[in-house]
Amino acid sequence: MATQVLYILFGGMALGAALLAVTRKNPVASAIWLVVMFFGLAATYVVMEAFFVGAIQILVYAGAIMVLFLFVIMLLDLRQQMLEGKPTTRLRFFGVLAALLFLVVGVVALGDAKDRGLLHRAVTPLPREADIVAANPDATSLVDLPLDGTAGAIADEMFTRWVLPFEVASVILLGAILGAVILTKRRLT
C-alpha cells in the first residue's frame, strides 16, 4: 500500500513537471521543470525496486544531459528571445484536436484493457532482499547474491541475452561521435 501511494505521488510529480516543462515560455524554467521530471521518474524506478536504473537516471539525465541543456541555453542566451508570437488559430485547432483524439484513444484503450483483465495480471513479485540473503547463507559479499534491480542483474541481461542490441548501440554511439565532430568542429584540416 505504501509503495502504491509513493508510486502515485512520484508518478504524478513526474507528469505534472513534464506538463510544466512543455508549457513554460521561458526556456530556463522549462529546463528546470525537466530536472524535476527526471527526479520524479527516478523515484518511480526506485519504488519499483529498480535501484540501479534509478541511480543511472539521476546521474545521466538529471546530471549530464541537463547540464548540457543548460549550457546550450546559456550559450545561446535564449532568455532574451522567449517563444514569441502566438500560435495561429489553425495550429491551435489541430493541437486541441490531436490532444482530444489522444485522450479518447487512451481512455478507450484503458477501458478495454480493464475489461480484459489486463491491468490486474498476476505478476510474480520480486524476491525481497532479506529473503535472498537468508537463502544464500554462504555468500560473503553482496556481489554473490542474485539480487534483482542491481547493477549485476542489469549487466547479466545486457551482456548475455541482449548482447546484439548492446553492440549495435555502441556502433550508433561511435557514429554519433563522428557526426558531432564532422558537423560542429570549426576546422578539420
Partner 1 sequence: MLAATSVPPQLGLDRLLPELIVAGTGFAAIVTELLLPAGRRAVASGLTAFLGLAIALIVLLTATPTGLALSVHAPARVGGVVQDVLVTGWLSDAFSIYVRGTVLVTGMLLLLLSMRYLQRMDRGHGEMTALLLFALLGVMLVSGVQDLLSFFVCLELVTIMAYVLAAFRRNDSRSTEAGLKYLVVGAVSTALLLLGIAFVYGHAGSLSFEAVAATLARGEMSVFLGLGLVLVLVGLLFKVGGVPFHVWIPDVYQGAPTPVTAFLATASKAAGLVLLLRFGTIAFVAGGVAWVPILAVIATATLLFGSLGALGQRNIKRMMGYSGIGHAGYLLMGITAMASAEIAGRAADGPPTAILFYLLAYALTGLTAFAVIVLVAGASGGEHGGRAWRGLWKRSPFLAVAMLLALLSLAGVPPMSGFFAKFLVLKALVDQGLTPLAFLGAGAVIVGLYFYFVWMKEMYFKEPDPELDAGPIHVPLSSRLALIAGMIGMVGMGVFMGPFHTWAEQAAAALLATAR
**What is the contact surface with partner 1 in residues (CB under 8 A)?**
105, 108-109, 112-113, 116, 118, 121, 160-165, 168-169, 171-172, 174-176, 178-179, 181-183, 188-189
Tell the smallest beta-carbon distance from residue 65 to partner 1 (Å): 15
Tell the smallest beta-carbon distance from residue 180 to partner 1 (Å): 8
CA distance 129 to 118: 28
Tell the smallest beta-carbon distance from residue 178 to partner 1 (Å): 5
DSSP state of 78: G
Nearest CA to 1 among 49, 51, 47? 47
Whichever of 135 and 172 has its CB closer to partner 1, that residue is 172
CA distance 116 to 111: 9
**DSSP per-residue codes, 124-149:** PPPPPHHHHHHH-TT--SGGGS--TT
Whichever of 112 and 144 has its CB closer to partner 1, that residue is 112
Whichever of 2 and 122 has its CB closer to partner 1, that residue is 122
